[in-house]
Amino acid sequence: MKLIILDRDGVINYDSDQFIKSPQEWKPLPGSIEAIARLCQAGYRVVVATNQSGIGRGLFDMPTLNAIHDKMHKACAQAGGRIDAVFFCPHAADADCQCRKPKSGMIEEIAARYNVSLAGVPSVGDSLRDLEASVRLGAQPILVLTGKGSKTQAKGGLPHGTLIYPDLAAAVATLV
């Protein structure tokens, strides 16, 4: 099975320092939805791993998060793609949970759910914490320069072997 792990905000859709708090605020980045469709057509199972501390902060609730994800799923389906599952951490940063990236609990859950080793599995993010969470389980870190990606690259300290692309579409073009 070919698997790929994608962060959400800054990779699939525009990010916001004020959080994406409603379906109306969720807007896909140019080419991202089509890139997910290309992955699906190439036989990849696409999963999303996303920190959603807005829930823990009380900025939005679970029905709202589900509505945001429903919009994302529908956009992918309209382009001929599919997101197999969305894994998320609802906790605020100070909760010290195991699922919030850069900790690897959410990524471990993906490996367990699909009963696979994540060695070499592409894991696309726009922040260091996205990459750190996946690389702990042997995934291939891929940084996109959308969202916080350019700032992440400028700060340095990326995991060894991190591949860097302008956006999700460019990363997918090399994978398929």
Active site positions, annotated: 7, 9
Residues 6+ apart with CB under 8 A from 94: none
Give the span between the Cα atoms of 80 and 97, in whole angstroms.
35
Residues 6+ apart with CB under 8 A from 70: 23
Beta bridge partners of 125: 143
Query: What is the three-class DSSP state of 37?
Result: helix
What are 111's two structure tokens?
Answer: 């490996």
